[in-house]
Amino acid sequence: MTRLPWPLPQPDRRSCGAASLVVARMLAEGRTDVGPDEFARQVLDLHRRLTSWNDSRGEAQLPWWRGVGTPPWAVKRELEAITGCRYALRPVLGRRRAYARMVTSAREQRPVVAYVGSRWLPRHVVLTVEGDEEGTWTYDPAVGRAVRVGRDRWVTGPVQLAGWDRWWGVVTPRPAARRTPA
């Protein structure tokens, strides 16, 4: 995560998902030349696309009210466009299992998006790009930089990212299909 010009905070209160995806794209492309103004422009443009009738590839998608943030299905599709691999949106029903998926993906250098929030609703989106048994390096758009999130915070909580305590969902790469020998 040290390859990015920090800090790069989300430009408004509702674009955390888009900010996470712009950072994911920057990392995938090895770009470090994006300044704060250009970053804000890219985030706001992407947020409009993520909540509109058509995604970044021009394909139809269910629109979403921009004022409540970024829909998980749009995040999934954008991660697929960035990485070229298939992703799945999963609710966090087993935190240990979700953490293991997150760390496996990070080791394979594939970004993972997590939704965190209150007891009642998911409210914030973060991007995990590095991780191990001890914790993750996670880009938190609220502060505009990578923060270390220990394993215990993910597994037993509270998560404590941008003031939110609950881990709601995760968007991770799907495992490659296993082929059985003929």
Q: Where are the beta strands (DSSP E) in the chain?
A: 87-91, 112-117, 122-131, 135-140, 145-150, 166-173
| Burial group, residue 13, by CB count within 10 angstroms (0-12, 13-18, 19+) | exposed
CATH number at residue 90: 3.90.70.10
What's residue 56's pLDDT? 74
pLDDT tens-digit map of 27-74 = 999 888 889 999 999 999 999 888 887 777 777 666 665 566 788 989
Cα(13)–Cα(159) distance, integer angstroms: 19
List the alpha helices (DSSP H) in 51-148. 72-83, 95-107
pLDDT (tens digit, 9 = 90+) per residue, 1-26? 556 667 999 999 999 999 999 999 99
Q: pLDDT category, 180, cuts 50, 70, 90? A: low
Q: What percent of the chain has pLDDT over 90?
A: 69
Domain that holds residue 40: 16-173
One-character DSSP codes across 79-94: HHHHHSS-EEEEE-SS
Q: What is the pTM of this model?
A: 0.90
In a domain, 44, yes or no: yes
Domain-located, residue 119: yes
Instruction: For 69-118, write each residue's pLDDT tens digit.
Output: 788 989 999 999 999 999 999 999 999 999 999 999 988 889 999 999 99
Count of domains in the chain? 1
Bridge partners, 87 (sequence order)? 173
Q: Is residue 182 part of a domain?
A: no
The predicted-structure confidence for 122-133, as pLDDT tens digits, reads as follows 899 999 989 999
